[in-house]
């Protein structure tokens, strides 16, 4: 079931186009990664979805009664408020009853790991703590759609891991759209990929779809020396590529299966260092797609 439909969304500043003809659908309780280089239009797109910016044209249709939580890339807080005061205010402004707001706020701060700092003023918070607080204010009213602009980019590896774990926990009953340029993390938590460049959507689909289209999976055989590799490759009828002592066999279309390759190697009693199945990483795919378009 779709909870948000974006059709031909465009944002122009004078002659400059920040986002052009962006169209996609978010299905309920899925995670979508919005990926693109700096200036691709990710923040502008999320700002339009969060109703901070009005589109120049296009249409955003949301499911009836959809509640939204938004985390900007660099969330800024009133430095004279404590984390609890801020989160409680955020809850109340999002429609949570006053009586429940404080309890909800302190529970949420506990969830994001700020239990011991909830009575400290936000002006004393480190970057990582601010990111956690940013997440807390975005989820305190239990929104059905969570829009996150680079939620993990500013964090160290430990912080990234912790926030990713929190997001995965939230994904159980929340639809998440997040922008990122840390592609390993995107690979870990995504049902749909949206690649943007120059304000346009240049590729979209599930992780498997995108990989099938661009990953060029292949079998890699590592020989002990280049002569052995060349000699072996010369006898093959399959499409192949030789790089030093390594032979690559593409597995798409009429390529061989792993079992076929193993059978040939065994029958020829080839002395090899190893054989494995390789596919391009999301980062490789991203670089390839961005370079191509």
Partner 1 sequence: MKQFSILMQKEWRENIRNYKIYWVPAIFILLGITEPVVNFFLPQILESSGGLPEGAVFEFPTPPPEQILTAVMEQFQTIGLAVLILAYMGTVAGERKSGTATLLYVRPLSFPAYFLSKWVMASAISLVSVWVGFLAGYYYTLLFFDRVEGMELFQMVGTYSIWVLLIVSIIVAASAAMPNGGLAAAVAFAIYLILQLTDGLFGAAWSISPVKLPQYAAAWLADSPDSGSLAGAIGITALIILALLVFGSWISWKNKAKTKV
Residue 38 makes contact with partner 1 by CB under 8 A: no
* Three-state SS at 8: strand
Cite the beta strand spans of 2-77 per DSSP E.
2-13, 16-27, 31-35, 57-62, 68-71
- Rounded least distance, CB 17 to partner 1, Å: 16
**Contacts with partner 1: how many residues (CB under 8 A)?**
29
For residues 85 to 104, the per-residue mask of contacts with partner 1, x marking binding by CB under 8 A and - elsewhere, is: x---xx-xxxx--x------
Q: Which residues pair with 17 in a beta bridge?
A: 12
Strands 145-149 and 175-180: parallel
Q: Applying CB under 8 A, which part among 50-58, 175-183, 223-231, 259-267 lies near partner 1?
A: 50-58
CA distance 92 to 249: 59
Q: What contacts 232, CB < 8 A, 6 or more positions away?
A: 221, 223, 247, 268, 270
Nearer to partner 1 by C-beta: 147 or 290?
147
Residue 52 makes contact with partner 1 by CB under 8 A: yes
What is the footprint of partner 1 within residues 114-153 (CB under 8 A)?
134, 137, 149
User: CB of 95 within 8 A of CB of 141?
Assistant: yes
Nearer to partner 1 by C-beta: 55 or 159?
55
Residue environment code for 12-33, b if the CB has 16+ CB neighbours within 10 A, otherwise e: eeeeebbbbebebebeeebbbb
What is the footprint of partner 1 within residues 210-269 (CB under 8 A)?
none
- Rounded least distance, CB 79 to partner 1, Å: 9
Q: Applying CB under 8 A, which part among 44-52, 199-207, 230-238, 264-272 lies near partner 1?
A: 44-52
Q: Applying CB under 8 A, which part among 73-81, 153-161, 202-210, 222-230 lies near partner 1?
A: 73-81
Q: Applying CB under 8 A, which part among 83-91, 169-177, 230-238, 279-287 lies near partner 1?
A: 83-91
Any idea what DSSP says for residue 60? E
């Amino acid at each position: 079931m779709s909870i948000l439909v974006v059709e031909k969304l465009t944002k122009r500043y004078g002659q400059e186009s920040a986002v052009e003809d962006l169209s996609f659908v978010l299905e309920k309780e899925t995670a979508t990664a919005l990926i693109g280089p700096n200036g691709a239009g990710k923040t502008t797109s999320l700002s339009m979805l969060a109703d901070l910016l009005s589109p120049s044209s296009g249409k955003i249709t949301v499911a009836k009664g959809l509640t939204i939580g938004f985390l900007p890339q660099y969330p800024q807080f009133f430095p004279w408020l404590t984390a609890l005061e801020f989160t409680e205010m955020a809850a109340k402004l999002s429609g949570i009853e006053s009586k429940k707001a404080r309890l909800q706020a302190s529970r949420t701060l506990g969830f994001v790991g700020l239990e011991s700092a909830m009575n400290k003023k936000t002006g004393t918070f480190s970057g990582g703590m601010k990111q956690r607080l940013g997440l807390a204010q975005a989820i305190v009213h239990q929104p059905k759609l969570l829009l996150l602009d680079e939620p993990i980019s500013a964090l160290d590896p430990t912080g990234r891991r912790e926030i990713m774990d929190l997001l995965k926990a939230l994904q159980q009953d929340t639809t998440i759209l997040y922008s990122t340029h840390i592609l390993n993390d995107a690979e870990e938590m995504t049902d749909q990929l949206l690649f943007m460049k120059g304000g346009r959507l240049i590729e979209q689909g599930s992780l498997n779809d995108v990989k099938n289209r661009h990953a060029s999976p292949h079998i890699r055989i590592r020989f002990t020396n280049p002569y052995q590799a060349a000699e072996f490759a010369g006898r093959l009828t399959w499409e192949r590529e030789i790089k030093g002592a390594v032979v690559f066999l593409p597995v798409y279309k009429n390529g061989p299966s792993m079992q076929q390759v193993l059978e040939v190697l065994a029958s020829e009693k080839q002395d090899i260092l190893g054989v494995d199945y390789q596919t391009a990483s999301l980062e490789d795919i991203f670089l390839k797609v961005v370079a191509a378009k």
